[in-house]
Amino acid sequence: MGGQERTNGTAVIDAARFARLFASSADEERPVVIRAVDVKKTYLKGTQETRALRGATLDIFKGEYLSIMGPSGSGKTTLFNMIGALQKPTSGKVYIDQVDIAQLDHNELAWLRCRKIGYIFQTFNLIQVMTCLENVMLPMSFAGMESEAAREKAIQILKMVGLAHRVLHKPAELSGGQQQRVAIARSLANSPEIVLADEPTANLDQATGTEMIELLAELKQRLGVTVIAATHDLKMLQKSDRILWIEDGRIVKSAAPSELDFGGEEFK
Amino acid sequence: MIQEQVRLPVRVAFEVVMQGIRIRFGRSLVTIMGVMLGIAFLMSILTGQALRRGVSEEERQRIEVGRMADFLAAEMGPPAGRTIGLIVTGPMSDSLEERLLRLLENRGVAAVNWAGYGGASLPPTVFTRARVENQPLQRVADSASAVLVMGAGEVPAVDWDGMLAQARQRVVAVTRRRQVSGTGATVVNLERELQPEELDRVHAAARRERYRGQWIVTVSLLVTLIGIANAMLMSVTERFREIGTMKCLGALSAFVRLMFLIESGFMGIVGGVSGCALGFLFSFAAYAVTYGLVLTLVSLAGQIGWLLGYMGVALLAGVVLSVIAAIYPAGIASRMVPADALRSNV
């Protein structure tokens, strides 16, 4: 396998092997940043089989703001995990930036998560024992950035999300909205191509949630990242470029918000 | 070939672990106390063994010296008011030879004529009350009821009969199972050889002692090991979200494992040091109460080499046990799939 570990604590990713895993990149007008092809995922609990995904196929384009929605048990979570390189599919292929993730070992997956994808969670998931600055610097140290450069960059990003005055506070000292801002800042630490947001506004009140959505949209515009969100939040759906509707393990609809009639209801 | 590296920032691991321990102080304290008790138990058993050895050695010497004095008295008569001659041939053994002299003084020896042979001299602290005079070798036996030959050197080549001409009694007593020849005087060997049965008995007793100690200690260390492993497993389970997050940020599985091993190792050191101190003090206090502070201190001094070794062993055991106990939980943590670790709802 490509990933070996040396005794001085570094992991070496074999770049040659990485290159071989790249599908040939056709020059498309709209470059595809994530592609899923007939992805299936089956969980085995004892003798009981749960077919969470029954063949999902989708393309996600660079710079898109995509929302995925669906009822509980629809496979939304599983699909989200697949395209976020958090799980491997049982069958089918997932290409992230043209790399088939099923071929990667755990070190290479770690590299992918470190450099290519930023994560935002419903429960913020900040490391409580570290300050905001340290939280944002953490992924940078995993990427091997020097601590001085990391500190500078982290401060820049925290400024961007409007938290320059709180960099040395611990998460427990911040409000929900502020914690989510830190989480957003952290997700951008290594300048990823993709930001994955898992119900980012679910734990925030209306007003704060709206701020967060605005912020994400603005950052997306400024930095050119692809934002993929799993969400029920109406305002967030309306702000998206495209919405995917998933039901019963399959993608049943893909449309722009303008094409859908929301009718003021929230889908659960 | 350009190689990409995902760093294993050890310093970061350390910092996260230390701060984590500080934040979760209560939980960490419980685990540390578990280690401390296990190591304290180990240390107290070992200390007890050492002190017991010291004390029984002390007893043995006391009895032996008494026997030697009685033996000598059988030849020369009661020592009260008598004069003895003493030839010092080299460095004296403080456990038998010096003690014998002090005992003789206690039993009433009034005067000591001593001569050094081969450059040896009498340690000044041996006699405190008797009249001690340094004499040339030929005059040592004047008015003496017995002449003692002590020290690590050779028996002097001397005209014994000439020397003993002025003695009150012609008795020569030697230690260290030496031989004196060329004299018609009574020569007694104060030290005796241990009979084989006695030796066997002593060794068998020591062996039994050791086995009993080993069994108890092994069981207690196993309990400690399981306790730590349990605590670490709980720690991993309740921190699944933190682990998942770390992995999302790019932490290698090896980094996660390292974090837990460092945490465990740190608790092993703290628990080991405190357990070592606690165990030692406990055993020492118990012995001091039973045998008296003086005797315990004396036997401590005699066993100091062993005790320092034991402390090293106990400390090492603390660290090693903790790390071993953490291997399985750390493995669980490192193998967590981030997706499982993160979602709390569907």
What is the C-alpha separation between B228 and B226, in angstroms, rounded?
5
Whether the per-residue pLDDT at A266 is higher than 50: the answer is no
Residues 6+ apart with CB under 8 A from B294: none
Residue B119, classed as helix, strand or coil, is: coil
pLDDT in the model for residue A151: 92
B132 plus B44 within the same structural domain: no
Task: Centre a 10 Å sphere on the Cβ of residue B4 and count the other Cβ atoms it contains.
Answer: 16
Q: Could you tell me if B71 and B55 lie in one domain?
A: no
Q: How many CA atoms lie within 13 A of B294 on its CB side?
A: 0
- Domain with B165 in it: 67-189
Q: What is the DSSP letter of B303?
A: T
- Among B16-30, B154-168, B306-320, B327-341, top mean pLDDT goes to B306-320
Percent of chain A with pLDDT over 70: 86
Which chain A residues contact residue B343 at CB under 8 A?
77, 81
| A-B contacts (CB, under 8 Å) | 117
Greater model confidence, B123 or A13: B123
Do residue B209 and residue B328 come from a single domain? yes
Is residue A259 scored above 80 in pLDDT? no
Asked if the Cβ–Cβ distance from B5 to A139 is below 8 Å, we say no
Q: In this predicted structure, what is the pLDDT of residue A6?
A: 39
Distance CA B127, CA A175 (A): 83
pLDDT of residue B42: 87
| Residues of chain A numbered 35-64 and touching chain B (CB < 8 Å) | none
State the nearest Cα–Cα gap between A29 and chain B, in angstroms: 29
Nearest 5°: CA angle at B82, between B77 and B88?
A: 100
Q: What is the DSSP string of B133-152?
A: EE--GGGTTTT-SEEEEESS
Choose among A9, A87, A121: nearest Cβ to B337: A87
Does B112 map to a domain?
A: yes
Mean pLDDT of chain B: 85
How far apart are the C-alpha atoms of B156 and B142, rounded to whole Å? 17
Q: How many CB atoms sit inside 10 A of residue B341's CB?
A: 21
**DSSP secondary structure, chain A, as one string:** ---EE-TTSEEEE-HHHHHHHBPP----SS-EEEEEEEEEEEEEETTEEEEEEEEEEEEEETT-EEEEE--TTSSHHHHHHHHTTSS--SEEEEEETTEEGGG--HHHHHHHHHHTEEEE-TT----TTS-HHHHHHHHHHHTT--HHHHHHHHHHHHHHTT-GGGTTS-GGGS-HHHHHHHHHHHHTTT--SEEEEESTTTTS-HHHHHHHHHHHHHHHHHH--EEEEE---HHHHHH-SEEEEEETTEEEEEE-GGGS--TTPPP-
Whether B5 is covered by a domain: the verdict is: no
Residue A123 near chain B (CB below 8 Å): yes
Using a CB-CB distance cutoff of 8 angstroms, which residues of chain A are in contact with residue B20?
129
**Angle, CA B102 vertex, CA B100 and CA B107 arms, to 5°:** 95
Answer yes or no: do B91 and B170 share one domain: yes
Residue A188, amino acid: L
Residues B211 and B326 in one domain: yes
Instruction: Strands of B82-137 (E only): list them.
Output: 83-88, 111-116, 131-134
In a domain, B1, yes or no: no
Same domain? B103 vs B182 = yes
Residue B158 lies in a domain: yes
A67 and B CB contact within 8 Å: no
Whether residue B17 is found in the same domain as residue B107: no
Q: For residue B173, is it within any domain?
A: yes
Residues of chain A found within 8 Å of residue B14, distances taken between Cβ atoms: none
Q: What is the pLDDT of residue B217?
A: 79
Specify the 3-state DSSP secondary structure of B327. Answer: helix
Instruction: Return the structure tokens found at B120.
Output: 């040896």
Torsion of Cα atoms, B105 then B111 then B116 then B122, to 10°? 40
CA distance A200 to B130: 96
Per-residue burial over B144-166, b if 16 or more Cβ lie within 10 Å, else e, is: bbbbbbbbebebbebebeebbee
Residue from A130, A138, A173 whose CB has the most chain B CBs within 10 Å, to mutate: A138
| B277 backbone φψ class: left, alpha, beta (φ>0; ψ -120 to 50) | alpha
Tally of structural domains, chain B: 2
Rounded percentage of chain B residues whose pLDDT exceeds 90: 19
Which pLDDT tens digit goes with each residue over B164-195?
888 888 888 888 878 887 777 888 888 877 67
C-alpha torsion B282→B288→B291→B293, nearest 10? 160
Instruction: Note the pLDDT of residue A255.
Output: 84
Based on the domain organization, do B185 and B273 belong to the same domain?
A: no
Give the whole-angstrom CA distance, residue A138 versus residue A190.
10
pLDDT in tens, B56-114: 888 888 899 999 999 999 988 898 989 999 999 988 887 889 999 999 999 999 999 99
As given in the structure block, the two tokens for residue B82 are: 């008598």
Q: How far is B241 from chain A (nearest CA, A)?
A: 7
User: What's the pLDDT score for residue B298?
Assistant: 84
Model pLDDT, residue B343:
62
Taking the Cβ of residue A9 and every Cβ of chain B, the question of whether any pair is shorter than 8 Å is answered with: yes
Residue B317 Cα distances to A154, B194, B322, angstroms: 43, 38, 8
Question: Among all residues of chain B, which has the CA nearest to that of A52?
Answer: B346
Distance CA B261, CA B326 (A): 6
Arithmetic mean of pLDDT, A215-229: 90
- Burial pattern B288-297, b for ≥16 Cβ within 10 A else e, equals beebeeebbe
Give residue ranges of B with CB < 8 Å to any A CB: 1-10, 12, 16, 19-20, 22-23, 241-242, 244-255, 337-339, 342-344, 346
Distance CA B80, CA B160 (A): 25
**Side-chain-facing half-sphere of A209: CA atoms under 13 Å:** 18
Whether pLDDT at A141 is above 60: yes
Q: Are B163 and B55 in the same domain?
A: no
Assigned domain for B135 exists: yes
Q: What is the CATH number of the domain that holds B85?
A: 3.40.50.720
Same domain, B142 and B237: no
User: Among residues B189, B224, B248, which one ends one of the domains?
Assistant: B189
Q: Which of B189, B207, B239 is the last residue of a domain?
A: B189
Range A15-25 average pLDDT:
51
Mapped onto helix, strand or coil, the DSSP state of residue B117 is coil
C-alpha A185: how far from chain center: 13
- The DSSP output letter for B118 is T
Strand B186-189 and strand B131-134: the pairing is unpaired
Q: Is the pLDDT of residue A50 over 90?
A: no
- Decide: A153 and A145 in contact? Cβ < 8 Å: yes
Backbone phi, then psi, for A181, in 5-degree steps? -60, -40
Claim to verify: residue B113 and residue B175 sit in the same structural domain: yes
Q: Note whether B139 and B156 are same-domain residues.
A: yes
Mutate to test the interface with B, among A114, A188, A199 (most CBs of B within 10 A): A114
Contact B344 A123 (CB under 8 A): yes
**A81 interfaces chain B, CB cutoff of 8 Å:** yes
In a domain, B4, yes or no: no
Of B242, B342, B346, the CB nearest to A127: B242
Distance CA A133, CA A153 (A): 10
Most confident of A103-112, A217-226, B150-159: A217-226
Residue at which a domain ends, from B123, B157, B189: B189
Q: Among partner residues B2, B244, B339, which is closest to A15 by beta-carbon distance? A: B2
CB A225 within 8 A of CB A31: no
- Whether B163 maps to a domain, the answer reads yes
- Rounded Cα distance between B16 and A127, Å, is 9
Tell which of A5, A129, A196 to mutate to test the B interface (max B CBs under 10 Å).
A129
User: Do B247 and A110 count as a contact with CB atoms less than 8 A apart?
Assistant: yes
* ipTM > 0.95, yes or no: no
What is the SS3 assignment for B122?
Answer: coil
